[in-house]
Amino acid sequence: MRLRLLFFLLLIAVINACKKDDEQSVAPGIVNTSLNIEISYEVDGQSLRFDTSGYTCDAGYNYSVSRLWYYLGNVCMIRQDSSLELLKNFHFADAADASTSQIAISNAKEESYIGLQFLIGLDSLHNQPGYLPATSQNLNMEWPVMMGGGYHFLKFEGHFSDSSGLHGFAMHLGTNNALGKCVIYHPILIQSGTNKLRLAMNLNEWFRNPFLYDFNIDGNYSMGNMAAMMKLSQNGNDVFIVK
Amino acid sequence: MYLLIPAFCLTFFFNSCTRENEEEIIANNQYQTVPYHIRVPSGWPEPSIPDFNQTTVEGVRLGRMLFYDPILSSNGLTCSSCHPQDRAFAVPFRINSRNEVVSIPPIMNLAFNPDWGWKGQDLVLDHLPLTDFSPEFFNTNMDTLVSRIKKHNLYPLYFREAFGIGDVANISHSELQHKISYALIQFVRTVISDNSKFDKVMRREAAFSPEELSGANIFFTEKGDCFHCHGTPLFTNNTFNNTGLDSILSGQNLGRYLFTGLNSDKGKFSSPSLRNIELTAPYMHDSRFNTLEEVVEFYNSGVRWNSPNIDPVMTKPFKEYGLNLTPSEKSDLISFLKTLTDTSFLTNPDYANPF
């Protein structure tokens, strides 16, 4: 009788031990709340297509886009009382790489927010030489130490045409002075389960408001040109909308 | 009688739990490899290594031997024929089958690069050496190669220890070529150049001369604007760019377009690393420039700004017609470029001919 009981107990113990891992992965009664911020790109309603001319900026030039790399920093939700809830310190995005067009926030809080805000670039803590992980993306965004160090906030490059022909443009932003901030007031309700938020960047806004940006007047190359970078930085404050 | 049921269940359970382990153990008894941890210099990206060809001590040992061994070819060539260590594993140029002059990029720091080749056509580095068996390179007779390996006093053991291949005659020629290719690339991934004067200055072990410092200022500022395509620490941004070598593009000068078929890739080439650039003349994808002086003069005054798809950073205000560097500034820039020469890399015994 004892032997029989011993075998039985042993069998149960072994079966239980085998099951434990499976059971841990499915915790009953707990549903993760996550937020997926999806970013798309457009030019006044047209979807962005790289290296395709046909876009027109407010200064009147036709242009195409060959590169769009940037950081979003301190991505926060704005609570009802205007306090901020930090979701992510920084996010690198390459508009040509769909895998970077999503910001996945696991363990989001179920709450009703009045909007979100983020930097286009990195705050001064992160914008230091070698501060970010040495990924290829971050290394390619480095801002040379000899020019102040840290990282490019934005690389927006392409070609434009005027009466004299085709030219390149390279709108590069960097340095703490040229850090832009987007504040978007839009009711956002985070509920249990998976939530989605769609953001769209309208590239023409970089050249529109509050300053009309003209490649031939303000410069088709902004790096090292603080006046051009300050205009772009302020124009960048409303390049994103919630879709 | 009732005792038999739980006992049977228990036995069955234990058997099913251990079967996979037993199979693994059997497999591992055939060859048990030791992981080779590729050194990652401070501030460098993590190496990019596919699961199917993890780096092992045994694989690196085999790859290094094969790299220097004419056993792979029917014409006496070895990998090191075109990639000699004292030239930073680069060869000045070769004439391809279309009678075009082609520059062979150096083999260094490839563990940290996502792709290889001027046009980025070699998407999987581990498969790159497969082309070397062709008539254009090694002209390998696979039956002869199998016979040579079998007769060799070390290779049978090394193939078994690296890949668990008991007899190379028992696998297909294709599989053997793949294993050789994998071993070669395992060795190649260990080849790291990070001890130039520039690196020593960054580590505060050395100081630039006034000329080198002046050159660094040109390189890393808008004056020369070299850093956008040749940033630290690899001195390449691993992207494809048209720097305006030609106004009209044809033949191999079409660049990445020949691989992707995209008009927007016409004239674009992979930005090469500038590490050890002093040793890898002649320059550009077609070896058109013999000296660094010629290269710097091209960027100073020779850029064809109307070249299709020219990189936007080449067309900055006032620079569409050149960098306007003085003779002294050009000389300083070259002085800085020479600080990227890593002499210890050229004689590192870990990368040297083992024979």
- pLDDT value at position A185? 97
The domain of B60 spans 51-193
Q: Is the dihedral of CA B171, B175, B181, B182 positive or negative?
A: negative
Chain B residues closer than 8 Å to A223 by CB: 222
Question: ipTM of the predicted structure?
Answer: 0.84
pLDDT digits (tens, 9 = 90+) for B194-228: 999 999 999 999 999 999 999 999 999 999 999 99
- Domain check: are B114 and B220 in the same one? no
- Domain check: are B76 and B137 in the same one? yes
User: What average pLDDT does this structure show over B36-43?
Assistant: 96
Q: Decide if A221 and B10 are in contact by the 8 Å CB cutoff.
A: no
Per-residue pLDDT for B23 more than 90? no
Question: Which of B237, B262, B312 minimises the CB distance to A159?
Answer: B312
Interface A-B, measured as beta-carbon pairs within 8 A, has a size of 97
Q: Decide if B7 and A220 are in contact by the 8 Å CB cutoff.
A: no
- Domain check: are B318 and B248 in the same one? yes
Domain stops at, among B160, B193, B226: B193
User: Closest-CA residue in chain A for B311?
Assistant: A168
B9 located within any domain: no
- pLDDT value at position B16? 44
- Domain check: are B57 and B70 in the same one? yes
What pTM, to 2 d.p., does this model score? 0.86
Which range is least confidently modeled, A15-19, A211-215, B98-102, B184-188?
Answer: A15-19
- Domain check: are B188 and B222 in the same one? no
B262 located within any domain: yes
Per-residue pLDDT for B306 more than 60? yes
B246 located within any domain: yes
- Domain check: are B309 and B331 in the same one? yes
Domain stops at, among B167, B193, B219: B193
User: Closest-CA residue in chain A for B47?
Assistant: A135
Question: Which of A135, A140, A219 minimises the CB distance to B317?
Answer: A219
- pLDDT value at position B167? 95
What is the 3-state secondary structure of chain A? CHHHHHHHHHHHHHHHHHHHHHHHHCCCCCCCCEEEEEEEEEECCEECCCCCCCEECCCCCEEEEEEEEEEEEEEEEECCCCCEEEEEEEEEEECCCHHHCEEEECCCCCEEEEEEEEEECCCCCCCCCCCCCCCHHHHHCECCHHHCCCEEEEEEEEEEEECCEEEEEEEEEECHHHCEEEEEEEEEEECCCEEEEEEEEEHHHHHCCCCCCCHHHHCCECCCCHHHHHHHHHHHHHCEEEC
Give B105's pLDDT tier (boundaries 50, 70, 90): confident
B282 located within any domain: yes
pLDDT digits (tens, 9 = 90+) for A87-133: 999 999 999 999 999 999 998 999 999 999 999 999 999 999 999 99
B10 located within any domain: no
The minimum CA-CA distance between A169 and chain B, rounded to whole Å, is: 5
- Give the DSSP H or E segment for B104: strand B101-104
- Domain check: are B180 and B256 in the same one? no
- Domain check: are B202 and B256 in the same one? yes
Chain B residues closer than 8 Å to A220 by CB: 312, 315-317
User: Closest-CA residue in chain A for B230?
Assistant: A140
- pLDDT value at position A3? 53
Domain stops at, among B175, B193, B211: B193
**b/e code A201-219 from CB counts within 10 Å (16+ = b):** bbbbbbbbeeeebbbeebb
**b/e code B321-330 from CB counts within 10 Å (16+ = b):** eebebeeebb
B56 located within any domain: yes
- Domain check: are B282 and B209 in the same one? yes
Q: Decide if B313 and A221 are in contact by the 8 Å CB cutoff.
A: yes
- pLDDT value at position A27? 52
- pLDDT value at position B201? 98
- Give the DSSP H or E segment for B150: helix B142-151
Average pLDDT, chain B: 89
Per-residue pLDDT for B248 more than 80? yes
- Domain check: are B222 and B180 in the same one? no
Helices B327-338 + B210-219 axis angle, to 10: 90
Number of domains in chain B: 2
- Domain check: are B261 and B335 in the same one? yes
User: How far apart (Å, rounded) are the C-alpha atoms in residues A102 and A166?
Assistant: 34
Q: Decide if B6 and A170 are in contact by the 8 Å CB cutoff.
A: no
- Domain check: are B131 and B201 in the same one? no
Q: Decide if B221 and A142 are in contact by the 8 Å CB cutoff.
A: no
All residue ranges of chain A with pLDDT < 50 are 1, 14-26
Percentage of chain B exceeding pLDDT 90:
74
Chain A residues closer than 8 Å to B323 by CB: none
- pLDDT value at position A162? 92
Instruction: Read off φ and ψ for residue B346, nearest 5 degrees.
Output: -70, -20
Q: What is the CATH number of the domain that holds B241?
A: 1.10.760.10
